[in-house]
Amino acid sequence: MADDSFIPSHGGYQNLKAFQKARIVYDGTVCFCSRFLDKRDRTVDQMVQAARSGKQDILEGSQASGTSKEMELKLVNVARASLEELPEDYRDYLRVRSLKPWAKDAKEALFVRKLGAQNRSYESYGTDIETRPAEVVANILTCLIHQTNFLPDQLRRQLEPAFLAGGGWSERMTRARLRSRKT
């Protein structure tokens, strides 16, 4: 941020791993719902909207960061909360159909987590999500959501000291106004 500017650079959400992973979760959830749930089922809308909110709120927070770190923090928190809903929807899907959720340390879960730790795109999972049975897809997406949820948590931890050091919109405007008066 320039010394005389009170609006820091903002945006760049496309480069945030949290956004990239949330996009994979959204795309996968849309695919899952269209393949395995009746489009009239209210759960479809709930799941797709939770996944969309997880992605979109990271984007919106990144854009809002130039004028409000407080809003950025709130939106990252909303994204995290939205993404937290999804694993329960997938667990419900598995439970009510007597399908088996993977244990955290199951070889399949470890494999998905290993893939997810790499910087991957939807295409990395697309074939499995688009062709495998519901039980496998629900478990893959559950693993990816858990990994994705870690990223907004990390983002919040980074935003807090930045907010404390730089202050909010009003504080930056006041500092810029005072600097301008001195010159």
Q: pLDDT per residue over 66-78, tens digit each?
A: 777 778 888 888 9
Range of the domain at 92: 13-178
Q: Under a CB-based contact definition with an 8 Å cutoff, are residues 25 and 137 in contact?
A: no
Stretch 137-162: mean pLDDT = 87
Q: Under a CB-based contact definition with an 8 Å cutoff, are residues 70 and 167 in contact?
A: no
Structural domain tally of the chain?
Answer: 1
Position 2 in a domain: no
Position 162 in a domain: yes
- Whether the per-residue pLDDT at 10 is higher than 70: the answer is no
Position 7 in a domain: no
Mean pLDDT of the chain, nearest integer = 86
Predicted pLDDT of residue 71: 82
Predicted pLDDT of residue 1: 46
What is the longest distance spanned by two Cα atoms in the chain?
72
64 or 94, higher pLDDT: 94
- Whether the per-residue pLDDT at 106 is higher than 80: the answer is yes
Q: Under a CB-based contact definition with an 8 Å cutoff, are residues 5 and 176 in contact?
A: yes
Q: How far is CA 31 from the centre of its chain?
A: 17
Give the whole-angstrom CA distance, residue 50 versus residue 55.
Answer: 9
- Whether the per-residue pLDDT at 7 is higher than 60: the answer is no
Residue with tokens 């407080």: 70
Which amino acid, one-letter code, is at 128?
D
The CA radius of gyration of the chain, in Å to the nearest whole number, is 20
Give pLDDT tens digits for 150-164.
888 887 787 777 767
Position 102 in a domain: yes
- Whether the per-residue pLDDT at 97 is higher than 50: the answer is yes
Position 66 in a domain: yes
Position 1 in a domain: no
- Whether the per-residue pLDDT at 54 is higher than 50: the answer is yes
Closest to 89 (Cα-Cα) out of 140, 47, 45, 150: 47
Predicted pLDDT of residue 21: 92
| Burial (CB count within 10 angstroms: exposed 0-12, middle 13-18, buried 19+), residue 67 | middle
Predicted pLDDT of residue 107: 97
Position 72 in a domain: yes
Which amino acid, one-letter code, is at 87?
P
**What percentage of the chain's residues is helix, strand, coil (to nearest 5)?**
80, 0, 20
- Whether the per-residue pLDDT at 13 is higher than 90: the answer is no
- Whether the per-residue pLDDT at 6 is higher than 60: the answer is no
Position 135 in a domain: yes
Torsional sign, CA 146, 148, 151, 152: negative
Stretch 125-144: mean pLDDT = 94
